[in-house]
A and B are shown apart, each in its own frame.
Chain A
Amino acid sequence: MDNRKAITIVTGFLGSGKTTVLARVLGDERFKNTAAIINEFGEAGLDHRLIRRIEERTRLLSGGCICCNMRDDLINALKEILNGYERGEFALDRVVIETTGLADPAPILFSILMDPLLTNRYFVANIVCCLDAANGELHLKNNPESLKQIAAADTIIITKTDLVEKEIVTRMRERLNRLNPAAKIFQAANGKINPEIIFGDGQNRMEKIYRRENFSEMKHADDIHSLSIKFYDALDWISFGLWMSMLLYAHGEKMLRIKGMVDVGDDGPIVINGVQHIIHPPHHLEDWNGEERNSQIVFIMKGLDPRRVIESLIAFQKILGSAPVIEEVTSNPY
Chain B
Amino acid sequence: MCVLCGELVMNVHWTDQPLHDSEYRRKTRIVAGEGQRTRRRMRIKRVAVANKILSYYGLKLQDWNGSKYILSDKKGVSGVVNSLGDMWKIASDMCRRTLDPLDENFLQALGKAHG
A and B assemble together? yes
Interface residues of A (CB under 8 A from B): 1-4, 113-114, 116, 119, 236-239, 241-243, 245-247, 249-251, 270, 279-284, 304, 308-309, 311-312, 315-316, 318-319
Please name 18 further chain A to chain B contacts, defined as beta carbons within 8 Å, in addition to the given A1-B25, A241-B46, A319-B53, sorted by A numbering: A237-B19, A238-B15, A238-B42, A238-B45, A241-B84, A242-B46, A245-B84, A246-B53, A247-B102, A249-B89, A250-B102, A281-B17, A282-B17, A284-B20, A311-B104, A312-B101, A312-B107, A319-B52
Q: Known contacts A1-B26, A116-B11, A315-B110: does B21 contact A239 (CB below 8 Å)?
A: no
Q: Known contacts A239-B49, A251-B102, A312-B102: does B115 contact A318 (CB below 8 Å)?
A: yes
- Bound Cα distance from A241 to B25, whole angstroms: 23
Task: Identify which of A280, A281, A308, A316 contacts B110 (C-beta below 8 A).
Answer: A316
CB distance from B102 to the nearest CB of A (A): 4
A311 near B17 with CB under 8 A, answer: no
Residues of B within 8 A of A270 (CB): 19
- Bound Cα distance from A236 to B48, whole angstroms: 13
A311 near B14 with CB under 8 A, answer: no
A281 near B46 with CB under 8 A, answer: no
13 CB contacts below 8 A, A to B, read A114-B10, A116-B10, A239-B49, A241-B14, A242-B84, A246-B101, A247-B102, A250-B88, A282-B19, A283-B20, A284-B23, A315-B108, A315-B115
Q: Known contacts A114-B11, A249-B88: does B114 contact A284 (CB below 8 Å)?
A: no
CB distance from A227 to the nearest CB of B (A): 13
- Bound Cα distance from A32 to B43, whole angstroms: 45
CB distance from B37 to the nearest CB of A (A): 15
- Bound Cα distance from A5 to B52, whole angstroms: 40
Residues of B within 8 A of A312 (CB): 101-102, 107
- Bound Cα distance from A270 to B85, whole angstroms: 20
- Bound Cα distance from A69 to B10, whole angstroms: 16
- Bound Cα distance from A318 to B111, whole angstroms: 9
- Judge whether B70 is part of the interface by a CB distance below 8 angstroms: no
- Judge whether B94 is part of the interface by a CB distance below 8 angstroms: no
Residues of B within 8 A of A238 (CB): 15, 42, 45-46, 49
CB distance from A169 to the nearest CB of B (A): 36
- Scan residues 42-60 of chain B and give those whose CB is less than 8 A from a CB of chain A: 42, 45-46, 49-50, 52-53
